[in-house]
Amino acid sequence: MTIELRHLRAFLAIAEESTVTRAAARLRIGQPALSRTLGRLEEHLGVRLVDRSTHHLELTPAGRAFRDRAATALAAVDAALDPGALTALPLRLGHPWAALGALTVPLLRRWDAAHPDIPLELRRIDDRLAGLTRGQVDVALLRGRVADPRLVTELLTEEPRMAAVPADSDLARRDALTLADLADRPIALNTVGGTTSLDLWPAEARPTATIEVANTDEWLTAIAVGRAVGVTTEATPRLHTHPALAYRPLTDAPPVPLHLARRRGPLSHPAIPSLIALVHEMYAQR
């Protein structure tokens, strides 16, 4: 049997939707046909990819491992077949939020001046690893602890934390804040790509209310309208200003490490070393 791209797309749809019904509707094919396609893929690989014993389908350990490989392969094929990319293969730099803060625009400008023939695309992807393991980007800026064995990481800096509060609140009238100052307010937590959790507070003084959001835009809105306060790093105010939101230094919270990461193994783009060198150079010149 020959594995085709449709087998990979079928498996990824099932993995993302968690049911054959929704996956079939998304792919616009019948459920029996989709089930047969998955079965043939599993037969070819000789392993079970999906556990069908529960109401909502779950990936087996082999299925979770294959999901990243399949996503990377499809991303590479889609990029190769994109007519708009035939003139120059773009270098994709991903981030879940804040990119390089104040250095973001200078980086893009210096890259354009030094490499006018290689487009550098900055992509915000709402994912803890910014789509790096799925092949959506070539290099990623990742904050917090990164321990994925599939990645090679380099520490760029450690960013001081900031509190984000409604601009008309009493907290905004202070020059600096502490974790205790925020503890009696609901905390906005980005559960997809953020680095803040209630573990940041001492166990005996943790906030009792949280508002979970899925991306930076939802996080900003929740704080701006007065529903919550938030914790971020000094990079965020550089890219995300809002007239109804104020940022203040958070004096007793540990800094957040910022890493430059790429997938382990062969480089996905020949210009990756040049980008890594430029980013390190810019941080050294700050």
**Same-domain pairing of 188 and 244:** yes
**238-270 per-position pLDDT tens digit:** 889 889 999 999 999 999 999 999 999 888 899
**100-137 per-position pLDDT tens digit:** 999 999 999 999 999 999 999 999 999 899 999 989 99
Angle, CA of 274, 279 and 285, to the nearest 5° = 125
**Same-domain pairing of 205 and 264:** no
Give the integer Cα–Cα distance in Å for 105 and 93: 13
Q: Is the pTM of this model over 0.75?
A: no
**Same-domain pairing of 248 and 121:** no
**Same-domain pairing of 279 and 233:** no
Boundaries of domain holding 277: 83-158+257-284
Per-residue model confidence (pLDDT) at position 243: 92
Question: Which CATH number covers residue 87?
Answer: 3.40.190.10
Give the chain's domain count: 3
Burial class (CB in 10 A: 0-12, 13-18, 19+), 225: exposed
